């Protein structure tokens, strides 16, 4: 039996910061899990809102989507879903695209696409809400 304590292969700084061997934490993992949890009630609310719009005329749809509570729910749904989508696609790209240049281009495209979709959807909701 040895009196020595088991040696860790992590550096003291790594132990303090709880960082793994890749020198990064689990931020993306937890952010994706948090957005997934947030997306459950937000998706249910968005589906209920969209279903309540079925069969209504344009003026009624604009009035409902332009109301403050509905606009806030839809904005939260859009932002959370787009961010969740971006993180998920980033993980897939990082895992399965092995060429560095192609990976860089794909990650840039993922970010630009996510921002474009998010901004377009947010603009549409704000335009309905404020009547711009």
Residue 32 located in a structural domain: yes
Determine, yes or no, domain membership for 81: yes
Residue 15: which pLDDT band, with cuts at 50, 70 and 90? Answer: low
Residue with tokens 């069969």: 55
Domain harbouring 93, CATH code: 1.20.1300
Give residue 17's pLDDT.
64
Which sign does the torsion angle of CA 92, 95, 97, 103 carry? positive
pTM: 0.77
Quote the domain boundaries for residue 51: 27-130
Within a domain: 63: yes
Burial class (CB in 10 A: 0-12, 13-18, 19+), 19: middle
Under the phi-then-psi rule, with left for phi > 0, alpha for psi from -120 to 50, and beta for the rest, what region is 56?
beta
Flag whether 12 is in a domain: no
Helix axis angle for 27-53 and 68-96, nearest 10°, is: 140
Per the domain annotation, does 36 fall within a domain? yes
pLDDT at 41: 98
Structural domain contains residue 46: yes
Domain membership of residue 34 (yes or no) is yes
Q: In this predicted structure, what is the pLDDT of residue 1?
A: 55
How many structural domains comprise the chain?
1
Structural domain contains residue 9: no
């Amino acid at each position: 039996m040895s009196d020595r304590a088991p040696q860790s292969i992590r550096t003291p700084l790594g132990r303090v910061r709880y960082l793994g061997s890749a020198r990064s934490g689990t931020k993306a993992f937890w952010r994706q899990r948090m957005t997934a949890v947030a997306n459950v009630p937000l998706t249910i609310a968005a589906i209920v809102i969209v279903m309540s719009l079925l069969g209504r005329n344009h003026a009624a749809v604009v009035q409902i989507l332009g109301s403050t509570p509905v606009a806030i729910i839809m904005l939260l749904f859009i932002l959370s879903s787009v961010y969740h989508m971006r993180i998920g696609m980033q993980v897939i790209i990082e895992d399965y695209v092995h060429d560095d240049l192609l990976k860089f281009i794909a990650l840039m495209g993922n970010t630009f696409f996510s921002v474009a979709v998010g901004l377009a959807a947010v603009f549409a909701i704000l335009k309905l809400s404020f009547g711009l």
